[in-house]
Structure 1
Amino acid sequence: MIEPIDITAVSKQHILRIKREDLLHPFVSGNKFRKLKYQLEKIKEGANETALTFGGAFSNHIAAVAAAGKLNSFKTIGVIRGEELENQPLNATLGFAKSQGMKLHFVKREVYRSKTDTDYLAQLKEKFGPFYVIPEGGTNELAVKGCEEIITNDHAEYDYICVAVGTGGTLAGIVKSLQPHQSAIGFSVLKGTFQAEVVQKFTSNQNYKIIDSYNFGGYAKIDSDLIRFINEFKENQNIQLDPVYTGKMFYGIFDLLKQGMFKKNSRIFAIHTGGLQGISGMNEKLKKKKLPLIDQ
């Protein structure tokens, strides 16, 4: 589903539309649906009846894998960053994952950094038995293959394709699908543009750039200015954005439009990658900090 975005307040020389990937599935939505599509097929075809993956306390990926496991009748294990979370009430994201049957395994942050090490994965297999590994954020060759399907020949009219960037897999798939006249802009939700290494791993195309000017301090970090923008966007456009990914992307797009960074009369296509499940958990965090809440 593609919808127009009213940008007359910031530009009358551009067209902005949004692809509602968030509507693909109620629980496995957006880029998570794309990233898991071919990995789920591999799990069904293989001998493993368990999938193990990694994520933080507000991870869309953790929630999506848990839901996919329940829907497809395989067990799921989530290795969660932050040992201190084990003795705290589960937030909305982790509570949902547990309700879908996911076993949550909380680890220290320094241990979590070993998530790709062969020795650490061997330790996990000793503890839990055999499993299929889905990387943090879901990014691997099969995930990129799924994300290549986001942009098709039907979208050739657009000059810029905009997407929020976490691990870089979704952007890699989009860049692989671009036509020569198109370019992608990845809005990093973390500090740094290291995701370029991931993109280059999967494609030699260079018609993209990653910017981290709108990360608001890092992953899952927001402030009252971003909250205000998300709430005004929902009121004006009747579209809910999430605070970790799409809120930051659209904040960046609007700011770049104000700055005149897009070519005159160009057509901009933004991808809504989902992530709305994280709003409830973020609002719990905002309440503790006595900040404004995100409208739902």
Structure 2
Amino acid sequence: MNQKLIIEFPNSITVSIKREDLIHPFISGNKFRKLKYNLLQAKEEQNETLLTFGGAYSNHIAAVAFAGKEKGFKTIGIIRGDELRDKISENPTLLFAQNCGMQLEFVSREEYRLKNETSFLENLEKQFGDFYLIPEGGTNELAIKGCQEILTEEDSDFDFVCCSVGTGGTIAGIINSALPHQKVLGFPALKGDFLKDEIRIFVQNENWELITAYHFGGYGKVNPDLIAFINQFYDKNKIPLDPIYTAKMVFGVIDMIDKDYFPAHSKILLIHTGGIQGIKGMNMKLKNKQLPIIDIHV
């Protein structure tokens, strides 16, 4: 999707937003890109079942569930937190996935940490039979192949390409397809810069940097300043931002412009990676804490 909003800043800096969130109503943004070639591979292997992992409000779980329904796969979601077993009706993401036909299996957080262990996966295969495995967050080589298609020739004029970072697959694809004159900036939703090593597995270029100052306390964490920013941005531009990923990236870029990080005349492209489905769940948590909610209409 190449619908872009252009915002002008001092020093002739311009910011545009690539609306990847508009690709598909339920498999939006980077999830569509990551699943594209994995679904084709599963079909080629004549596998009828997709199995994957995720947390309570996972965009990935929601996307895989709908993709399975749309493409004719059985889907199994291994969900982190066995305390959620009896709370599906209270969780909009898990309820959506279940309504799409996904079989939800809840495991303790201790068990969930074993999700990459061969013995754990073998036990899942004994329990569920043969399946096509999609990793947590969807990141693998086929996912990166899909994410390499985010940038197109229309984006060649930009000096900086910015995106949020979860498991590192999306930014890896963007790094691989960015042009030599472009610098890719990633804004992790998690604390720390440990993702650098994960990203380097899939990339050869050095045209990138992780900006680690805008995680707002860590994955899934927000504060009133970020909520106010999301609401103000929507009021002004009519573009919804999700609080886990894209909002933190957009907030960071604007703050960095104010702090003169970018040279004059820079052309900056922001990648909107979707994730809007998570707003309902976040608002439930905010209401429970008697905090301001995200007031946007999608």
Equivalent residues of 2:11, 2:264 under 8 A apart: no
Q: Please list the CA deviations of residues 136-178 of structure 1 after superposition, one character each: whole Å capped at 9, or x if unmatched.
A: 0000000000000001222110000000000000000000001
Aligned to 2:251: 251
Distance 2:47 2:170 in 1: 26
> Per-residue deviation at 1:209?
0.5
**Structure 1 residue 126, shift from structure 2 partner:** 1.1
Q: 1:180-259 alignment to 2 at 5 Å?
A: 180-259=180-259
Q: 1:2–1:17: 8 Å Cα contact kept in structure 2?
A: no
Tell me whether 1:145 sits opposite 2:145 in the alignment. yes
- Equivalent AA in structure 2 for residue 153 of structure 1: E
| Pairing 1:14-93 to 2, within 5 Å after superposition | 14-88=13-87, 89-93=89-93
Contact 1:5 1:237 in 2 (8 A): no
TM-score by length of structure 2 reads 0.96
What SS is found at the alignment partner of 1:143? helix
Match status 1:285 vs 2:282: no
| SS in structure 2 at match of 1:274 | coil
**Counterpart residue identity of residue 274, structure 1:** G
Task: Give me the whole-angstrom Cα distance separating, in 2, the residues matched to 1:261 and 1:165.
Answer: 20
Gaps of 5+ in 2: none
Query: Where do 4+ consecutive residues of structure 1 move more than 3 Å?
Result: none
Provide the aligned length of Structure 1 versus Structure 2: 294
Deviation at 1:86, TM superposition (A): 0.9
Is the 8 Å Cα contact of residues 21 and 31 (structure 1) preserved in structure 2? Answer: yes
Query: Deviation string for 1:213-239 (max 9, x for gaps)?
Result: 111111111111100000000001110
Which segments of 5 or more consecutive residues in structure 1 lack a partner in the other structure?
none
Match in the other structure for 2:3: 2
Equivalent residues of 2:186, 2:209 under 8 A apart: yes
| Mapped partners of 1:292, 1:148: distance in 2 | 37
Aligned equivalents of 1:192 and 1:77: distance in 2?
31
CA shift, 1:12, in A, is 4.6
Take 2:263 and 2:11, find their aligned partners in 1: how far apart are those partners?
A: 12
3-state SS, counterpart of residue 4 of structure 2: strand
Hey, what's the Cα distance between the residues in 2 that align with 1:255 and 1:150?
Answer: 25
User: Identity of counterpart residues, as a percentage?
Assistant: 55
Aligned 8 A contact 1:24 1:33 in 2: yes
TM-score (norm 1): 0.97
Indicate the RMSD between aligned Cα atoms, in angstroms: 1.0
Deviation at 1:4, TM superposition (A): 2.2
Alignment-mate amino acid for residue 223 of structure 2: D
Give the 3-state SS of the residue equivalent to 1:2 in structure 2: coil
- CA offsets per residue over residues 19-46 of structure 1, 9 Å max, x none? 0000000000100000000001011111
SS of 1:240's partner is: coil
Partner AA of 2:7 in structure 1: D
Equivalent position of 2:166 in the other structure: 166
For residues 7 and 15 of structure 1, the distance between their equivalents in structure 2, rounded to whole angstroms, comes to 5
| Contact residue 56 and residue 80 of structure 2 kept, 8 A | yes
Name the structure 2 match of 1:270. Answer: 270
- Deviations, residues 193-228 of structure 1 (Å, cap 9, x unaligned): 222222211111011001221111111111111000
How far apart are residue 78 of structure 1 and its match?
0.6
- Distance across 1 between alignment mates of 2:289 and 2:283: 10
- In the alignment, the residues of structure 1 paired with residue 36 and residue 77 of structure 2 have an alpha-carbon distance, to the nearest angstrom, of 19
1:124 maps onto 2:139 in alignment: no
The answer to whether residue 114 in structure 2 is matched with residue 114 in structure 1 is yes
CA contact (8 A) 1:6 1:237 kept: no
